A = this chain, B = another copy of it.
Amino acid sequence: MMRVLVINPNASVEMSDVIREQLHAVARLDVVVEVVNPPGAPPAIESALDEAACVPPMLALVREAAGQGYDAVVIACFSDPGLDAAREATDLPVVGIQDAAMHLAAQIGYRFSVLTTLAHRSPVRERAALLAGLDRRLASCRPLDLPVLETVVNREQVVEKIVRIGRQAIEEDGAEVLILGCAGLGDLAIRASRELGVPVVDPNAAALKLCETLVGLRLTHSRAGLYRSRPREEAMV
């Protein structure tokens, strides 16, 4: 038995419901998934300001996760806010859905594109690919022009947008794989893939499966470099 804590770091309970339902469908039978919103989270995460605001309440949950019997933590916002800090805060594996999705996509095609929500988040995605080392593998980042909270409403229109913009990424940018760049879109991956004829990565599922892998192999983030720091109170003991 394995327990995974999925933190949706914004305040949308509706989005958490969508994520929960979806992950239950793809989780292994022996994996328990809990999806929560941190108290005091911002309504949605669409800016660096939102990211800064969502991290402290999210970290409070991360710190308690090990004590509550979880085996791994997923940060279910495509910007991977606070990922480095969360890894410093716990020895449990902590997985960001953007990083997991990009590495998974890179393993099944040469070039992938990210379908992001808002146009001004493109440089954020491009910098994430650069830090991941996958900038040469990123064919493009195309905006769906869709605020985060709208990803879970009016879903037929959302699917139609994904298919239309996704097709542009394939035909004009040479994308071989697509990534749905928002936690609220994950469950649409299979439909989109069926329509477009290329693999479409659901970032939530990619992150959950990476947790299964890490826990299964008893691996977690290294403490020898980037994540060497520990919480000050702990370091002081």
Name A residues whose Cβ lies closer than 8 Å to a Cβ of B: 26, 28, 42-43, 46-53, 55-56, 59, 82, 84-85, 87-89, 93, 95, 99-100, 103-104, 106-111, 120, 122-124, 127, 130-137, 170, 174-177, 190, 197-199, 201-202, 205-206, 209-210, 212-214, 216-232
Contact partners of A51 in chain B: CB under 8 A: 85
Q: How many subunits of this chain does the assembly comprise? A: 6
- Cross-interface CB contact of A231 among B49, B201, B223, cutoff 8 Å: B49
Q: Which of A51, A85, A133, A137 has the most CB of B within 10 A?
A: A133
Which residue of chain B has its CB nearest to the CB of A84? B48
- Cross-interface CB contact of A201 among B50, B120, B219, B230, cutoff 8 Å: B219
Are A123 and B229 touching (Cβ within 8 A)? no
Q: Bound complex: CA of A104 vs CA of B104, how far in Å? A: 9
- Cross-interface CB contact of A131 among B85, B127, B209, B225, cutoff 8 Å: B127
Known A88-B47, A227-B109; contact A216-B209, beta-carbon cutoff 8 A: yes
Are B170 and A190 touching (Cβ within 8 A)? no
Rounded to whole Å, the gap between the CB of A142 and the closest CB of chain B is 12
Are A109 and B225 touching (Cβ within 8 A)? yes
Contact partners of A135 in chain B: CB under 8 A: 133, 136
14 further contact pairs, Cβ within 8 A, besides A108-B214, A108-B220, A123-B225: A48-B85, A48-B87, A49-B229, A99-B107, A108-B221, A122-B174, A130-B136, A134-B134, A170-B224, A176-B222, A176-B227, A212-B212, A212-B213, A213-B213
